[in-house]
Amino acid sequence: MTERRLSESGFPLKPVYGPADVPERDSEQPGEYPFTRGVYPTMYTTRPWTMRQYAGFGTAAESNARYHHLLEAGTMGLSVAFDLPTQMGYDSDEPIAHGEVGKVGVAIDSVDDMGVLFDGIPLDKVSTSMTINAPGSVLLLLYQLVAEKSGVPGKALSGTIQNDILKEYIARGTYIFPPKPSLRLVADTFAYCRAEVPKWNTISISGYHMAEAGATPVQEIAFTLANGIEYVRAAIAAGLAVDDFAPRLSFFFVARTTLLEEVAKFRAARRLWARIMREEFGAKDPKSWMLRFHTQTAGVQLTAQQPEVNLVRVAVQGLGAVLGGTQSLHTNSYDEAIALPTAKAARLALRTQQILAYETDLTATVDPFAGSYVVEALTDEIAQAADELIQRVFEYGSSVDAIEAGFQKREIETSAYQVAQEIDSGARTVVGVNRFTLDEEEPYEPLRVDPSIEQAQADRLAQLRRDRDNSAVTGALAQLKKAAEGTENVLHPMKEALAARATVGEVCHALRDVWGTYRPADRF
């Protein structure tokens, strides 16, 4: 007897689905509550999703050249990868940054670096996403300062900062401050952007990194939406009205190769968030009910073995994101399991999206899988299981309480271990790894980051500190600390400090002095 196959979330998959698997419900339309079929009535029939390629490495000048290359190749929006010291709020010349400068993203230490990064790019015409969390507000303000210097006001800027600190405690680890002041910083960013950068998406609540750590589709959306609830609660507690900030919330999910379940996951996430916002928080604006999201194809599923096979994986993953109704998409480069993507690989990744948009008929109709017995059944199963898991999170009191108890982390690690066991035993096929392997891999020349950039960044910092008005920087940082000690929105004095050419590290150290740093409990 053939063993019954399970979905990634553990649901038994039936060989045949029919009407009995899908309960009757009122006819749902795209662009209408609960948005299962999409947040907009026309979706891609009037314009495709935003093709947003994630890039950043080495120096700001090197990354700027890559951005111009991507824009010339037809990308619609930029997505910035920052190096690890920047993500952790350290300057490139600090001892802790040694060996990591420019390695997994671009090194940004000051407004000078940010100016080089976006040199020649029309910031009033290009949407920019920045994958930055603990110091997300710092990088946003640097971006705003650069735009203002070029004559572009904050009200003309569009884009997103990830700014999702809670998932860092769960799955990624680039946190700086403890959860409570971190949530305050998120809420301050909501309030600041509503007044100063109103078209900016102030947070991208991310399930992607939890999925990369091993979360199932159900865990991915459950823990992500639970974090979303926590951010909404924090903003309301800070005195913001839900409809004043909720329309600018956005989300970030993964797209795996299990296409049918991924499509169902995206549909289920929209349905759940619409209900949460309307019923639990009493949001009245339909835009507050909409779960708008960016998708990235699954880096964790790419292999260093036979890397060209990743082109096929990425195409399937991108197809799932589009069928699931994503608002923007990054397709991974086929060589990312080996090193930073080469320019050719990044261009091929973009071409994958362009083929989906312009050579297929995916953009001719909205929600193509609506009415599919299997997708509708999986949508219901995922929505129910995710809702139950959200309730388990809040049995701890809050998402933060569950994080501090290690709940989400334990659940994800259990799932990741199970997948690893299945791959090792051969129960789960990974082409090129445990089946269909080659005796000898073809040679590949990866992109390498020049290690001398660390010294170059240190030299730039030394020059900056010689050239700037250091007394003005000291005074501005003192005002930032004073705001952090009280209840004033910290982004206003933070902007003043950055305008005086304080560095990213100096700003973050000022906040560390007041708020401290987070140390996970031993039980983690």
Instruction: Output the tens digit of pLDDT for each of the chain's 524 residues.
Output: 456 789 999 999 999 999 999 987 668 899 999 999 999 999 999 999 999 988 889 999 999 999 999 999 999 889 999 999 999 999 999 999 999 999 999 999 999 999 999 999 999 999 999 999 999 999 999 999 999 999 999 999 999 999 999 999 999 999 999 999 999 999 999 999 999 999 999 999 999 999 999 999 999 999 999 999 999 999 999 999 999 999 999 999 999 999 999 999 999 999 999 999 999 999 999 999 999 999 999 999 999 999 999 999 999 999 999 999 999 999 999 999 998 898 899 999 999 999 999 999 999 999 999 999 999 999 999 999 999 999 999 999 999 999 999 999 999 999 999 999 999 999 999 999 999 999 988 888 877 888 899 999 999 999 999 999 999 999 999 999 999 999 999 999 999 999 999 999 999 999 999 999 998 875 44
Architecture of domain 34-425: Alpha-Beta Barrel (3.20)
Prediction pTM value: 0.94
Q: What is the pLDDT of residue 4?
A: 73
**Which residues pair with residue 50 across a beta bridge?**
328
Residue 117 in contact with residue 60, Cβ under 8 Å? yes
Starting at the edge strand found earlier in the chain, the sheet holding 249-255 runs 200-201, 159-161, 127-131, 77-81, 50-55, 328-330, 293-297, 249-255, 203-206
**Which residues pair with residue 328 across a beta bridge?**
50, 294
Name the helix (H) or strand (E) containing 132.
none
| CA–CA dist 519, 516 (Å, integer) | 9
> Which sequence spans correspond to the domains of the chain?
34-425
Q: What is the largest CA-CA distance in the chain?
A: 78
Q: Which residue matches tokens 């109103």?
A: 198
Contacts of 83 (CB under 8 A, 6+ apart): 56, 100, 101, 102, 103, 104, 105, 106, 107
| CA–CA dist 333, 343 (Å, integer) | 9
Contacts of 265 (CB under 8 A, 6+ apart): 217, 218, 220, 221, 253, 324, 382
Q: What is the pLDDT of residue 2?
A: 52
| CA–CA dist 53, 351 (Å, integer) | 11
Q: What is the pLDDT of residue 53?
A: 86
Angle at which helix 179-196 crosses helix 491-499, to 10 degrees, equals 80
| CA–CA dist 49, 76 (Å, integer) | 9
Q: Which residue matches tokens 């507000």?
A: 137
Name the helix (H) or strand (E) containing 53.
strand 50-55
Q: Are β-strands 50-55 and 328-330 bridged in parallel, bridged antiparallel, or unpaired?
A: parallel
**Which residues pair with residue 509 across a beta bridge?**
none
Residue whose C-alpha is closest to residue 124's, from 156, 154, 167:
156
